[in-house]
């Protein structure tokens, strides 16, 4: 991956590759779940503790192959008691593998009484994969790419690397592995040959969709896995009654939940624990992270994080809702509005060009364009409290801690520093003073000065004309 991040921690659709694999494995309700870690073990183990505290990391100090890794895992399990039943082996970089496929693998394995059952796939290009060699339709062995003959290399049925083993037979087979191969490693695939030679039954389950077994070894392959996984998610939600206008430009994390009749417009990303209720419309050009959108709400051209948007509320365009923001029913956060840790009551509107941070706004309020809650004094944050049915004029600064009681008005252009009583009008601005002729004296010869002089001349000529008209009218009366 050419990255400081271990491969299995690279993400797609809201989870790491390892996270997807662990989640699928957990759906089988295993008695124990062991993850063999090597490269980047500190980062991987820490991440594993976050996503599945009950999973056990086991360190493979030196990477001596897949068989060696599984042997280390089996030894760790055996240290906790007798190992019996079925052991499922999978890989941390195959995030498309589903719990349904793993469950089917275990079912086939146990019903057939196999010593081992391998998950296989028929792929268009088998390059790089171990080939499934069959005799009379039965799996005889798995041959790695570097050890394959030309005839074996032409086989398109490949080993996914996913197996279900009889635990005791697996332990026995692992004890007999050697490193007599092109890479000088212990191959887990050799266990299948050992068990087959001993007369044990080796079975196979061919996965219906070969994409499930795909891994990622570079960023390009990861992008392809991300595209496939996202297609699964958008397809699922459309079948659940959600309208996704352009699935190709809509990206959805696995944690997202959408209700029937929700509408998602193009160029939209739904991330984390986002919830979209029925009848809500999101997009175009939105990124919602850990956001709840109520029924019938409308969000367009917006970025939100940790916000709650009430029923019938409207957000956008070009709006930024930061964590802690809560919009009430039919509230509005309009164009070029930013909110942070702000609660906006039912029916209240912040229509445009405003910053509302660390504030409580009651019901039925109107916050004029260009309003700012000055919440930071350089050291601490302070809250602004606005009551119900308050009107705040445009270009107003509410210097926190500010309090505006119910039904009060704030005149446009005010800088409010004191509490405003209920029903009062607050006016906090200097008196206007006009200084005639200032431009021509300060900036003579400029276009502004010329325009001012021309306007003055036109005014003088208009006054003379009016005086002449008045004189003519007076003579007629006489």
Determine which one of 236, 352, 382, 389 is catalytic.
Answer: 352
CA distance 37 to 49: 13
Which among 38, 170, 153 has a CA at the least distance from the CA of 114? 170
The radius of gyration of the chain's CA atoms, rounded to the nearest angstrom, is 35
The answer to pTM > 0.75 is yes
CB count, 10 Å around CB of 390?
Answer: 24
> What is residue 477's predicted lDDT score, i.e. its pLDDT?
45
Lowest mean pLDDT among 108-112, 305-309, 347-351, 434-438: 434-438
For residue 204, the cross-strand partners are 118
Measured on CA atoms in the order 188, 192, 194, 200, is the torsion positive or negative? positive
Residue 425 corresponds to which tokens in the numbers above?
Answer: 């009008």
Measured in whole angstroms, the distance separating CA 40 from the mean position of its chain's CA atoms is 24
Annotate 27-39 with b (16+ C-beta within 10 A) or e (fewer). Answer: eeebeebbbbbee
Q: So what's the pLDDT on residue 427?
A: 97
Q: State phi, psi for 341 to the nearest 5 degrees.
A: 50, 45
CA dihedral in degrees (134, 138, 142, 145; nearest 10)? 30
Token pair recorded at residue 168: 């005791």
**Whether 352 is catalytic:** yes
Q: What confidence score (pLDDT) does residue 472 get?
A: 57
* Least confident range of 211-220, 257-266, 450-459: 450-459
**Nearest Cα to 383, choosing from 409, 411, 364, 357?**
357
How far is residue 20's CA from residue 52's CA, in Å, rounded to a whole number?
Answer: 11
| Confidence tier at 469 by pLDDT (50, 70, 90) | low
Q: pLDDT band for position 183 (50/70/90)?
A: confident
């Amino acid at each position: 991956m050419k990255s400081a991040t271990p491969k299995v921690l690279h993400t797609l659709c809201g989870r790491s590759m390892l996270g997807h694999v662990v989640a699928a494995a957990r759906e089988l309700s295993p008695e124990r779940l062991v993850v063999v870690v090597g490269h980047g073990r500190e980062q991987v183990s820490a991440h594993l503790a976050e996503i599945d505290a009950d999973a056990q990391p086991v360190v493979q100090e030196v990477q001596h192959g897949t068989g060696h890794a599984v042997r280390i895992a089996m030894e760790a399990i055996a240290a906790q008691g007798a190992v019996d039943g079925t052991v499922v082996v999978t890989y941390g970089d195959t995030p498309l593998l589903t719990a349904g496929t793993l469950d089917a693998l275990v079912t086939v394995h146990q019903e057939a009484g196999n010593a081992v059952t391998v998950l296989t796939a028929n792929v268009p290009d088998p390059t790089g994969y171990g080939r499934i060699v069959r005799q009379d339709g039965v799996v005889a062995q798995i041959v790695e790419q570097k050890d394959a003959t030309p005839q074996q290399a032409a086989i398109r049925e490949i080993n996914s690397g996913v197996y279900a083993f009889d635990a005791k037979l697996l332990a026995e087979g692992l004890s007999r592995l050697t490193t007599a191969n092109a890479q000088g490693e212990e191959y887990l695939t050799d266990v299948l040959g050992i068990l087959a030679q001993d007369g044990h039954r080796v079975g196979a389950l061919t996965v219906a969709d070969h994409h499930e077994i795909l891994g990622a070894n570079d960023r390009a392959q990861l992008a392809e896995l991300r595209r496939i996984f996202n297609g699964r998610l958008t397809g699922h939600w459309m079948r659940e009654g959600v309208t996704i206008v352009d699935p190709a430009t809509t990206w959805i994390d696995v944690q997202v939940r959408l209700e029937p009749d929700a509408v998602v417009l193009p160029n939209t990303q739904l991330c984390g624990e986002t919830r979209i209720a029925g009848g809500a419309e999101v997009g175009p050009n939105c990124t919602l992270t850990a956001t709840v959108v109520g029924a019938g709400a409308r969000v367009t051209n917006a970025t939100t994080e940790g916000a709650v948007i009430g029923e019938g509320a409207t957000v956008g365009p070009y709006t930024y809702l930061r964590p802690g923001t809560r919009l009430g029913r039919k509230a509005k956060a309009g164009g070029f509005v930013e909110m942070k840790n702000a609660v906006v009551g039912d029916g209240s509107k912040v229509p445009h060009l405003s910053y509302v941070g660390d504030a409580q706004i009651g019901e039925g309020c109107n916050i004029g364009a260009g309003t700012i809650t000055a919440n930071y004094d350089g050291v601490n944050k302070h809250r602004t409290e606005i009551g119900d049915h308050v009107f705040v004029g445009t270009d107003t600064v509410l210097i926190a801690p500010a309090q505006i009681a119910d039904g009060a008005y704030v005149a446009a252009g005010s800088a409010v520093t004191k509490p405003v009583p209920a029903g009062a009008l607050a006016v906090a601005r200097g008196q206007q003073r006009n200084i005639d002729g200032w431009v021509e004296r300060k900036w003579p010869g400029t276009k502004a000065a010329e325009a001012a002089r021309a306007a003055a001349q036109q005014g003088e000529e208009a006054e003379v004309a009016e005086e002449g008209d008045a004189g003519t009218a007076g003579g007629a009366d006489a």
